[in-house]
Amino acid sequence: MHVVILAEFAAASGGAEKVALESARGLAEAGVAVTYIQAIPGPADPMLDHAGIRRIGLDLPDIWSLGGVRAAAAGIWHAAAARRLAASLAALPARPDIIHLHQWTRALSPAVFPVLSKAGAPLVVTLHDYALACPNGVYYRFDRAEPCGLAPLSSACLTAPCDPRSRAHKLVRVARAATLRHALRGHPLHVVHVCDASRRLLGDLLGGYAVTHHRIDNPVRVAEGPPATPASGDAIAYVGRLTREKGADLVADAARAAGLPALFIGAGPLDAELRARPGVAVVGWQAPEAVWAMLRSRARALAAPSRWYETGPLTVYEALAAGIPVVASDRSGAAEKVRHGQTGFVVAPAVAPLAEAFTALREDACARILGAEARRRFRAEPMTIGAHAAALRSLYERLARIALGAPQHPGDAPGAVHPEIEPA
């Protein structure tokens, strides 16, 4: 089997790239021939150093580095991206059996979807966010600091000042979303959801597309070393971009109310505000090894109180695997992996319920028991790279058989759901 994985970067600067890289490596180790196409130039993660992985670069600019009108035009329809991708696919020594897209908004634009649809292989897209349906990509009202409830591209959506940058930026994103709808209309598309909440929400929002839904957990790379000892930790930890939609400010407020320090690993718009607060330490972005060294030494729990409908934050799953309790937002896909009162707490993204959970974790016995149960449950049903690759391969093989005209699975009609890995 030959699979093309298409992403915009070949290094893990975020969750989507990390999943693309780890799935490429897992598939190659399982004997699948992988071509990894990288849109934007840059260094490649060592995960791609495998004899079974061929890497191709499209040498495209990051659209938003172009500035002004050029960036807007390329974001809506980047013709050069379509041409370079088409040429790269045509030059492959063997036709792909599957094409799997992970990212497209930073360099590729809707222009690549007709190319992918005509490539002669089933197209699979992992939904790391809501960009296939929502203009701003996260189905969140930045103007109100709350999840969106509007129908994408409805009149109410078009007039809502929901973009985090400006109304002009919203207009560009609306044009991009409308162009995407036109580009996808009538073309079969297989989407992979990384959490059940994404499937429930996007099931209706993608109703105009010829979509078949699938459900596969993100892979989790378990940190090496002994289990964490959260009862000896002194701080509530947060890992990720420091923004309000991800709830970084809530962690600082709730930790202070619970009488605990807050440790922030990451950077973002709230950096200066958080650094100015008492009891808060902000250490910026760190290498993965340094992150886990800090979490093992200081984290009493990991907090992930997203205000938006976050899909599958990998740090949450990695913390549970290491034996660190997690306090997760009930709006996040991560909540599906946290057992309330057993491996952590699932609460509303607000200061009071977060502070109550953090206060409970001040008890050494609570932190120790929840952490041990988190690790035990992960080991019982591991979300490993191998398990992820096996689920992908099973999906690819079925789609390839259907593409060759083999008898169709009874549920392979648009709108069907295939739980390749049942949620734990």
Residue 284: is its pLDDT beyond 60? yes
Residue 26: is its pLDDT beyond 90? yes
> Chain-wide mean pLDDT for the chain?
92
**Integer angstrom CA distances of residue 387 from 14, 99, 123, 198:** 21, 20, 21, 21
Q: Which residue has the tokens 């009874």?
A: 410
The CATH architecture annotation of domain 230-380 reads: 3-Layer(aba) Sandwich (3.40)
Range list for CATH 3.40.50.2000 in the chain: 2-219+386-419, 230-380
**Where residue 224 falls among pLDDT bands split at 50, 70, 90?**
confident
Q: Provide the pLDDT for residue 406.
A: 52
**Where residue 390 falls among pLDDT bands split at 50, 70, 90?**
very high
Question: What is the distance between the alpha carbons of residues 49 and 34, in angstroms, rounded to a whole number?
Answer: 12
Q: Which residue has the tokens 């495209």?
A: 60
**Where residue 64 falls among pLDDT bands split at 50, 70, 90?**
confident
**Where residue 415 falls among pLDDT bands split at 50, 70, 90?**
very low
Q: Provide the pLDDT for residue 312.
A: 81
E strand segments, 207-310? 210-215, 235-239, 262-265, 280-282, 299-304
Q: Provide the pLDDT for residue 68.
A: 86
Residue 409: is its pLDDT beyond 60? no
- What type of residue sits at position 75? G
Average pLDDT over residues 360-371: 98
Six-digit token string for 238: 């947060």
Six-digit token string for 110: 């809707």
Percentage of the chain modeled with pLDDT above 90 = 85
Q: Provide the pLDDT for residue 405.
A: 76
Give the residue ranges of DSSP H helices in 102-235. Answer: 112-117, 155-159, 167-184, 196-205
- What type of residue sits at position 180? L
**What is the CATH code of the structural domain delimited by 2-219+386-419?**
3.40.50.2000
Question: What is the distance between the alpha carbons of residues 115 and 123, in angstroms, rounded to a whole number?
Answer: 11
Strand partners, 38: 7, 57
Six-digit token string for 144: 């109100």
Question: What is the distance between the alpha carbons of residues 153 and 157, in angstroms, rounded to a whole number?
Answer: 5
Question: What is the distance between the alpha carbons of residues 245 and 53, in angstroms, rounded to a whole number?
Answer: 36
Cβ-Cβ contacts under 8 Å for 119 (sequence gap 6 or more): 89, 96, 99
pLDDT tens by residue, 311-351: 988 899 999 999 999 999 999 998 999 999 999 999 999 99
pLDDT tens by residue, 74-112: 999 999 999 999 999 999 999 999 999 999 999 999 999
Residue 414: is its pLDDT beyond 50? no
Q: Provide the pLDDT for residue 413.
A: 46
Q: Provide the pLDDT for residue 67.
A: 83
Cα dihedral: 333, 75, 23, 383 (round 10): -10
Average pLDDT over residues 346-370: 98
**Of residues 78 and 208, which shows the higher confidence score?**
78
Residue 242: is its pLDDT beyond 80? yes
**Of residues 67 and 162, which shows the higher confidence score?**
162
- Indicate whether this model's pTM tops 0.75: yes
> Quick one: three-class SS letters along 63-86?
HHHCCHHHHHHHHHCCHHHHHHHH
Six-digit token string for 112: 């690549």
Residue 423: is its pLDDT beyond 80? no
The half-sphere exposure of 82 on its side-chain side, counting CA atoms within 13 A, is 17
